[in-house]
Amino acid sequence: GAVVSQHPSRVICKSGTSVKIECRSLDFQATTMFWYRQFPKQSLMLMATSNEGSKATYEQGVEKDKFLINHASLTLSTLTVTSAHPEDSSFYICSAGASSLAADTQYFGPGTRLTVL
Amino acid sequence: GESVGLHLPTLSVQEGDNSIINCAYSNSASDYFIWYKQESGKGPQFIIDIRSNMDKRQGQRVTVLLNKTVKHLSLQIAATQPGDSAVYFCAAPGGSQGNLIFGKGTKLSVKP
């Protein structure tokens, strides 16, 4: 199947700093990438949807100025957590879909564990 | 909209036994369902999917059953192994952006 990577896999930062997480589709062009957040022992919750070359669509309650998303190419989307605080500590997971794949197919990255001190 | 949910948050089985994980959904118009396995600290891994024109689909050691009448699907794992220990999520497309909506998850623990 298609492969999606994330970098870094784990990051620890100080409160107030910004952290960038990359999501890459390695062997296909991802027209759409989804960013999910998962708190411990909970399910995945969609944060935003990014489409290549256009602005991201954020879910209700997700601050677009805090969680900056850039989908500059068909293989890369980035999520930047600005001025991170301890409550932003979570597991961030991206998934990617493509028009070349089956309509409902999404491939997930391995996730990024963010810990804000 | 779609909402999916799981009946049991945890399931403990003996190695070698069969496991059954259940999921209920609310939108009768949903036509595609997916089961994911998530190991600790990792992203969801696709296990098997099923479309609404089918009642059953089999994979390697896994079977998904879909009962559209009661809006219920299940994941059956045959001869459960320690490596099957993980959290299992059912999911269905239903978000406004074409995203998947996930159930709460069932944690499967396999006792040796």
Cross-chain residue pair B42–A44, CB shorter than 8 Å: no
- Distance between CA atoms of residues B22 and B64, nearest Å: 10
Residue range A18-35, pLDDT digits in tens: 999 999 999 888 888 999
Query: What pLDDT is recorded for position B98?
Result: 76
Query: What pLDDT is recorded for position B3?
Result: 59
Strands A107-108 and A90-97: antiparallel
Question: Residue A102: pLDDT above 60?
Answer: no
Cross-chain residue pair A107–B46, CB shorter than 8 Å: yes
Query: What pLDDT is recorded for position B1?
Result: 47
- How many alpha carbons lie under 13 Å from residue A35 in its C-beta half-sphere? 31
- Distance between CA atoms of residues B67 and B23, nearest Å: 10
- Distance between CA atoms of residues B98 and A109, nearest Å: 18
Residue range B47-105, pLDDT digits in tens: 999 999 999 999 999 999 999 999 999 999 999 999 999 999 999 987 777 788 898 89
Mean pLDDT of A84-105: 83
Asked if the C-beta of A54 comes within 8 angstroms of chain B's C-beta atoms, the answer is no
Question: Which residue type occupies A79?
Answer: L
Question: Residue B38: pLDDT above 90?
Answer: yes
- Distance between CA atoms of residues B6 and B68, nearest Å: 16
Query: What pLDDT is recorded for position A77?
Result: 94
Mean pLDDT of A44-60: 90
Question: Which residue type occupies B10?
Answer: T
- Distance between CA atoms of residues B75 and A107, nearest Å: 20
What is the H or E stretch that residue A35 is in? strand A32-38
Give the CA angle between residues A117, A10, B39 to the nearest 5°: 120
Query: What pLDDT is recorded for position A31?
Result: 83
When mean pLDDT is compared across A59-68, A97-106, B48-57, the lowest value belongs to A97-106
Query: What pLDDT is recorded for position A98?
Result: 67
Out of B32, B45, B97, closest to residue A104 by CB: B32
- Distance between CA atoms of residues B106 and A73, nearest Å: 36
Domain residues of chain B, as ranges?
A: 4-111
Cross-chain residue pair B98–A97, CB shorter than 8 Å: yes
- B contact test, residue of A90, A106, A114 with most B CBs within 10 A: A106
User: What residue has token string 């997930």?
Assistant: A108
Q: What percent of chain A has pLDDT over 90?
A: 71
When mean pLDDT is compared across A87-91, A100-104, B20-24, the lowest value belongs to A100-104
- Distance between CA atoms of residues B107 and A46, nearest Å: 21
Instruction: Tell which CATH architecture fits domain B4-111.
Output: Sandwich (2.60)
Question: Residue A103: pLDDT above 60?
Answer: no
Nearest CA in chain B to A110: B43
